[in-house]
Amino acid sequence: MRVVIQRVSEASVTVEGKRIAEIQKGLLIFVGIEDTDKQEDIDWLAQKITNLRVFADENDVMNLSVKDAKGDVLIISQFTLHALTKKGNRPSYIKAAKPNIAVPLYEAFVKKIEQELDKTVQTGDFGANMKVALINDGPVTITIDTKNKE
C-alpha cells in the first residue's frame, strides 16, 4: 500500500456536483493498493498513520498525532499512486490492484483507521471521478509505502 498524507485545515470531496464528505483539521489520506497488499500492510500502515506526530503542540513543535490532536480523517482511494513512469510518457498502472482486490482492502483500511482512532472517518467514493479540495496546513505532505517498512 502506498499513501500520500496531507495535514489539512480542511478538505472535502465532491462527486457529480454533490459534496459527499468533508473534514476540518486533520489528515487527508490518498491510498493506492497493489495486488500483493495484505492485512498485515493495513495493520502496520494504520498504526503508523494514526501515531505519526505531525500536529503542533503548545510549543509549536510537531509532536502530536492525529489521535492527540483529535483531528478528522478523510480517506480517498487513488490507484494512480502506483503509476509506473519509467518508459514513455503514458503512465502504466499495472501494479495497481483491480477493484475486486482493492475494494475489500480499502474498506478494511478504513475500518482499521476507525478502530485506531475510535471514531468514524470520512471517505471518498471508490472508483468515482472525485473532485478533492483541500487546504494543506504547513504545508505538510508525507508519503509512506508498506513495501519500504524496513
Of these residues, 14, 36, 50, 80, which one is catalytic?
80
Among 3-17, 24-38, 85-99, which stretch is predicted with the lowest mean pLDDT? 85-99
Size of the chain, expressed as the number of residues it contains: 150
- Overall domain count for the chain: 1
Instruction: Show the domain range for 117.
Output: 2-148
CA 90/CA 12 separation, integer angstroms? 29
Any catalytic annotation for residue 80?
Answer: yes
- Quick: pLDDT tens for 88-142: 999 999 999 999 999 999 999 999 999 999 999 999 999 999 999 999 999 999 9
Looking up residue 98, the CATH number of its domain turns out to be: 3.50.80.10
Kindly compute the dihedral angle of the four CA atoms of residues 40, 42, 47, 51, in this order, to the nearest 10 degrees.
150
Question: Is the pTM of the predicted complex or chain greater than 0.85?
Answer: yes
Q: C-alpha cell of 86?
A: 519509467
What is the DSSP-derived secondary structure letter of residue 98? P
- Quick: pLDDT tens for 30-53: 999 999 999 999 999 999 999 999
